[in-house]
Structure 1
Amino acid sequence: MDPRNFPNANPGNGRGPPPPPPNNRLVPTYFPGQPFGSNAVPAGSFGSFTLSSFRNKAHEYEDADFLRHLMNKLQKEPIPRSMRIATCNGYPCVYLCTVGCISVLLTPDVKIDIAVDRSMRITCFGKFVATLCSNNKSASLSHEHATIYQHEGYVYSVFRSDGVPDKQVVIGDDAVLFTMENLNDTFILSKSGHVSPVARRLCAPLKRDITVRQFYSSCEIGARYLDLCHELVSRAHFSTVDGELQVIVNGIHIVHDRNGNVEILSKPRLVRITPMTGAVQMRSTTLEMAVDGEGRGYIISGVKRAHASGTGLVLADGPQVASMDNQGKLITSS
């Protein structure tokens, strides 16, 4: 057999041309320099969307039976392993992880990992990592200026600013605990409005990244979800509306505006980030928290609130308010 008769064959290997690939299901991928909806991706992956069509598609993905429908479909007709996913050659890129989740590379600085239950782990490289679970009861943030951890009804937090002591706050059902790094006492703000000191440190230092463990242990991730993730990735949609990039995958809506800000919506959860400064705001039904690029931040859990800045702490439990400066002096209590 003369290999010259086969232009696609490797010269000298004595083999014919490779067999034609199967009917691949390709991931819609954006290639830099080409508009969305062009022939740079397989026909039918996504089209030129209008704002109304984007909303209609978003409504479809918000259907409560969406994942149940896909699970039933995959149990009856599993996706053949021979089906391949296209290689990502630009941003944004949606791909299937072998650990059983979906990853969205939105920009070189922002990556969003999504579990089948719509839990999210958001990475802003060099700035912060955040996990937001689908149960609205668990969340965590590992930021260069703060660490926040919500677990089993408690919210643990540490706020850090250059040149001032770290501020530590724990919010629970019955009280708010707070202290400073330079203090040996912990103060308790109760619902009655009294601030009581305790001669010991009760707040955890939170010096480790908790987001990884929370995401991989608390969310629906694993090899058993690979087929479902494959289906969800193949259904991902991209569009541009008024200069804004919009991505829909697994019912999660991601918007990257012209100023570089990112908004991630999976009702009732909302995440807003500014990659340039590292500012982040996260909101769920049980918790709202935010940290900016200068160390200021806040936590709101029900009627309890904590605000941290370069000058001190302000705590509140309903109408009861207390504040403390950076030297640990209790300024007001009402």
Structure 2
Amino acid sequence: MKSYSIQEINEVLKGIIVGDAAVKITAPEQLELASASEISFIGNKKYEKFWETSKACAAVVNEDISIEPGENRAFIKVENADLAMSQVLELFAPPTPLFSTDIHPTAFIDNTAIIGNGTRIGAGSYIGPKVQLGENVTIYPNVTILDECTIGKNTVLWSGAVVRERCHIGNDSIIHPNATIGADGFGFRPDPERGLVKIPQIGNVVLGNNVEIGANTCIDRGKFSSTVLGDGCKIDNLVQIGHNSRLGKFCIMAGNSGLAGSVTLGNGVIIGGSASIKDHTTIGDGAIIGAGSGVIGDIPAGKTMLGYPAIDARDTLRQWAILKRLVNESKK
């Protein structure tokens, strides 16, 4: 079991220690569940009230905290406790699953594939013709990478992930279990004789560097060219990204949200959980779409939208307040 002193943790965080720094820390834990040998976090003043009843011996806190750690307890004061939390979790993170051999004998690797130095490929994986894997790529068991794909260095693909033909994933990315990159876009046209005719989807998917794709998420290939996700995009589980959509850098999409075809997101756009974005819609840089919202038209940069259909969040909240007041009055 890993353990660290307060001083050792602070060597990483470079904060200010307040209180008793003698105790050894065995694990990080949330405030209400922490034991007397565990460290917790207070990233917002509204959680200060839980410190008195918490058993944690230490906490990483923001510099502006208004309480003291108390007897035999300690705070590490930092500029941003939420960011510091990620550093502490890295210290205590258990090792990732082990590979008994770098290339498992049951993996199929086409003889035209190029495998970079230090790359590991797990049991039952399929690496197709003309695939290129960069250095230190990790392919867990039962991953499928089809013809002419490229995977950048240090990227990790977890079990069950499928990367369809001619798709490209950048460096330092993570594809979680059962995500599908490059399935056919949803394209059909009615024909009086044949019913719904499938429109061939001949494009691909291009993911930038440092992209993370959640479990069971689907990113469809472009009908003509590419579906593109820029550097640093973070996509949650169970997200649908339609064909020919284009995301700028550092976009976030929360679980169960979806983009129809040919949606454009600027840089730093945030899409809340279960939000739906209509096809051929453009959302400007830094815009925020609230959870459960439905976007049916273009959104300017920097706007926060909420509701179904989505309008300015302040207007939506006013509408909800009025409706609540009307309902309460009707009960009198």
Shared fold (TM-score, shorter chain, > 0.5): no
Q: Greater RCO between the two (CA within 8 Å, min separation 6)? A: 1
TM-score, structure 2 normalization: 0.26
> TM-score scaled to structure 1, two decimals?
0.25
The structure with the largest strand share of the pair is: 1
